[in-house]
Amino acid sequence: MEFENVFKVKLVSSVNLRRRVVFDVTPDIAENQNVNYKNIEPIHAPSSFWVYQNTPARAYNLSNIKLISRTIEEATLNLQRVNCLRAWTKPFFGEGTATGGERGLVKSQDKARVGSEQDTGQLTLTCFLPGTTAETDRQVFKKFLGSPPEVILLSAYANKTPGETPSNISRVPVIMTQLSLPYPSDVDYIPTEDGTPFPAIMSIDMQLSEAHSPRELRQFDLHRYRRGILTSF
Each residue's pLDDT tens digit, 123-153: 344 554 444 445 555 666 777 887 899 999 9
* 175: containing domain: 2-31+62-227
Model pLDDT for residues 72-82, shown as the tens digit of each residue? 999 999 999 99
Inter-residue contact 212 to 225 (CB < 8 Å): no
pLDDT for residue 21: 94
Residue type at position 127: C
In a domain, 90, yes or no: yes
In a domain, 46, yes or no: no
In a domain, 128, yes or no: yes
**Angle in degrees, CA 181, 184, 186, rounded to 5:** 165
In a domain, 56, yes or no: no
Model pLDDT for residues 63-104, shown as the tens digit of each residue? 999 999 999 999 999 999 999 999 999 998 877 776 665 444
Query: Distance of alpha carbon 173 from its chain centroid, rounded?
Result: 8
Split into its structural domains, the chain has a count of 1
In a domain, 153, yes or no: yes
Q: What are the backbone angles phi and psi of residue 191, rounded to the nearest 5°? A: -75, 145
In a domain, 50, yes or no: no
In a domain, 116, yes or no: yes
In a domain, 43, yes or no: no
